[in-house]
A and B are shown apart, each in its own frame.
Chain A
Amino acid sequence: MTSLPRARRRFASCPGLVLGLLLGMGWLVGSPEHGAAQTAEQLVVQRRLELQAARDAFEAARSAFNVVERQFSSALEEVTRARRQGNKDDLERAYALAQDRSVPYRDRERRLAEAGDALVQARQALVDVLEIRLEQLVEEMDAASSSQRRGQLDLIWRDLSTELQQLEDEAGDTFRLDPVVLPEVASDPRDTPDDILAKADLLERQAAVADTLIQEKEREIQALTSRLRRERQRRDLLAGTDRFDDTRVPVVTGSPTGQPTPSSDSTVAGQRPITLEERIQMLRDYVEQLESYRDQLVIRAQVFRQRIRSVAT
């Protein structure tokens, strides 16, 4: 096992490694109970545990939020029902209930946001130390005395590399689309006509929300498509002027017209960011899902309304 002082000497040979070292030292300074001799490998284990704890806390916060959100939504439905029935006493009681439930709702919402922030920080902390450990492994492989040892280290390197890739994907996935989930509104034989009407109303409101979301996403697609077209027109300009050597000017050598360098190239293997084309396609797929979701809601609302009519006749 490589000790940290030895690793420190190696890291000093490259700015990136120096940065990694600083991160490691920062941790050591902040955690005196573990002592200065703690290795990057131990740090990986420690930060994995911290990330798991952060994930658990986030999941717990989300579950708790879902419970209070459902309660709050139920209270709002009570308000709607009471308003429709015109019963002032019921309406006041429903308002009071909704008011009471809005307090834990806000509280849980805030806790969920805090847990999300903590999760992001814990993930980044693990990414930082994984990068350090991977560098160490490369050095250890170079210095390994046998091919067997080298193979063992290579397996560890691959596992850690995959883990790092997954974490970076998770962290870099800023373009996230919420999953489409149908609300749990089911028909119950004990439902009164008012109950059925309320459920139909709820489904139609959800359908209207989906409709708004569809329009919003379509506007987003339109904006991205316009941006993509402008990017293409810019590429056309540069390609057109370069083709016949019209831009040849003195002393400018290399790649003056914004030709990609390896670090900025969007096609660099293994670190390619999501392209505009891919974003547009993802949004289109999402809009299709939303349309299907909206149609299902409308159909179910119609079924409820038919049931009311059949009860009435």
Chain B
Amino acid sequence: MRRYLGVLAALASLAAPHSLLGQVRFQDLVFNLGGSVDGYSGNLSAVTVFIVDKTDHATAVVGEVGVRGALSLFATPTRSVTFSFDGGVRQAAAVGFQLRDYAPREWVGSTSARITQSLGTWGSLMVRGGLRGRSVEDRPPMPLFLQPGYTTRSGGLGLGTRPLGGLSFDAQADLEAYDYSAPDYLPQLALLDRSARGFEVGVRWGGPSTIRFYGGLRWTDYNNQGSFDPTDPFRRDHTARVGLEWTYPGDLFVQLGMDGTVNRSNSNRPEYDAVSVRALLTAPLPRDFSLNVYSVFTFKSYVHDSGDARLVPGEEADNASVAYLQIGHALASNLDGAIRFAWARAETDIGSAYYRRFGGSIQFNYRPLGN
């Protein structure tokens, strides 16, 4: 993972031609420090975790540091090049298991570059590419679920128009590949390796509050998962998604969205229909405090019954939802503090298995450049 981050840093330096270095400026640079206490419960098993512990309750004390930023490498009225990065490490001390205590450590890093080109009076074209990676040491058993390590590569092309008669159109196409690099002792992790491509088109109207209606298609290939069909042996999903999003920007920021998904596959097991509802709210509070709420609730219905309950929370659970509530306050002109509460739940109809996480954390965000 650290070697991977080094490669990203080298790519970042190559991405900035020397003749343009004079124009390089930070759009954002934020250092983050946080600590939390999280409680985990549930009896949902995960196919990607090879240790099984009989407990259904665990607790973790967690510390994390991170940095993220965006660099404008080049910017003119018609073209801009932006480079973004995000990385961090999270260390937990997990207790409550019957076998032993664990000390999982997560390393994460991502980077992306984006080129935006104006298309005159039409609008603009955007090209982007990105890498993301994550590794986990001493990964604990359920119910303390941590996403396994992986690397992803992604690229995309986007087009957005200027408002035409009050309507703005946008379209995006993208490719991505997930590689979980399954170790010898956990070959089933390779089941999650996949590649996907898709597109989405949208139209937005209104102002200052806007509504965006969008729809898209996505094709995903799981080359390590069988379809149980000898003539078409590997799992291939195709997914249709339509949604509506309403955004009100202002002192009170509100964004509400709802979308429906239909997933069909050459393998019966993962065919499902789903509805997802999400909300994002930012509101001022007295004494210069602020409230942020973010939630996503997903309701999922499988087309075919399956006796296989070994699901991956966050990947294929029947229903999964997350909610965050954060109260923030400025501690100095370039230092923000926040108390954050998080809740997540995933469940399956099979045997009423579920997974739940609830925790509270304190977060500090420092902007050394004041931007």
Contact = CB atoms under 8 A, between A and B. Distances in A.
Interface stretch (B10-18, B45-53, B182-190, B324-332): B324-332
B338 A269 contact: no
Contact of A250 (B106, B204, B210, B300): B300
B116 interface: yes
Interface in B315-371: 315-317, 320-322, 324, 326, 328, 330, 336, 338, 340, 342, 344, 346, 363, 365, 367, 371
Contacts of A226: 284, 288
Contacts of A257: 280, 294
Contacts of B251: 223, 227, 230
B347 to A, nearest CB: 11
A252 B76 contact: no
A234 B123 CA distance: 28
B315 A236 contact: no
Contact of B158 (A15, A19, A262, A267): A262
Contacts of A239: 30, 32, 68, 86
* A-side interface size class: 35 or more
B80 A16 contact: no
A271 interface: yes
A254 B125 CA distance: 18
Contacts of B106: 244
Contact of A246 (B200, B321, B342, B371): B342
Contact of A261 (B170, B321, B346): B170
B253 A250 contact: no
A236 B336 contact: yes
B22 to A, nearest CB: 19
A19 B165 contact: yes
Given A233-B282, A258-B255, A268-B160, A251 B134 contact: no
B55 interface: no
B134 A271 contact: no
Contact of A269 (B66, B118, B272, B330): B118
Contacts of B320: 249-250
Contacts of A271: 118, 123-124, 162
B314 A249 contact: yes
Contacts of B316: 250
A250 B117 CA distance: 34
Given A233-B326, A252-B276, A267 B160 contact: no
B298 A251 contact: yes
Contacts of A161: 120-121
B312 to A, nearest CB: 9
A269 B118 CA distance: 5
A15 B168 CA distance: 11
Specify which of A19, A227, A234 lies most central, judged by the most chain B CB atoms within 10 Å of its CB. Answer: A234
Contacts of A264: 160, 170, 204, 210, 212
Nearest to B220: A253
Contacts of A256: 257, 276, 278, 296
Contact of A252 (B68, B165, B172, B296): B296
A250 B200 CA distance: 18
B159 interface: yes
Interface string A157-172: 1000100100000000
B7 interface: no
Contacts of B147: 244-245, 248
A243 B165 contact: no
B310 interface: no
Given A233-B326, A251-B298, A261-B172, A134 B274 contact: no
A240 interface: yes
B79 interface: yes
A265 interface: yes
Specify which of B162, B210, B239 lies most central, judged by the most chain A CB atoms within 10 Å of its CB. Answer: B162
A193 B215 CA distance: 77
A267 B338 contact: no
B42 to A, nearest CB: 16
Contacts of B170: 261-264
Given A226-B284, A240-B34, A251-B261, A15 B164 contact: yes
A15 B367 CA distance: 44
A253 B198 contact: yes
Contacts of B164: 15-16, 19-20, 131
B34 A269 contact: no
Nearest to A22: B165
A237 B88 CA distance: 15
A227 B320 CA distance: 32
Contact of A230 (B77, B216, B290): B290
B241 interface: yes
B167 interface: yes
Nearest to B340: A237
Nearest to B34: A240
A233 B296 contact: no
A86 interface: no
A248 B296 CA distance: 10
Interface of A: 15-16, 19-20, 22-23, 130-131, 134, 157, 161, 164, 223, 226-227, 229-234, 236-241, 243-254, 256-258, 261-265, 267-271, 277
9 contacts: A227-B284, A234-B280, A250-B274, A251-B276, A252-B276, A253-B198, A254-B218, A257-B280, A267-B27
Interface of B: 27, 30, 32, 34, 64, 66, 68, 75-80, 82, 86, 88, 90, 106, 108, 116-118, 120-121, 123-126, 134, 147, 158-162, 164-165, 167-170, 172, 196, 198, 200, 202, 204, 210, 212, 216, 218, 239, 241, 251, 253, 255, 257, 259, 261, 263, 272, 274, 276, 278, 280, 282, 284, 288, 290, 292, 294, 296, 298, 300, 314-317, 320-322, 324, 326, 328, 330, 336, 338, 340, 342, 344, 346, 363, 365, 367, 371
Given A239-B68, A250-B317, A252-B296, 13 more contacts: A134-B121, A161-B120, A236-B30, A236-B363, A236-B365, A240-B363, A241-B294, A245-B134, A252-B259, A252-B261, A263-B161, A264-B170, A269-B124
Closest 8 interchain pairs by CB? A262-B160, A270-B118, A263-B160, A19-B165, A16-B164, A248-B314, A263-B170, A262-B158
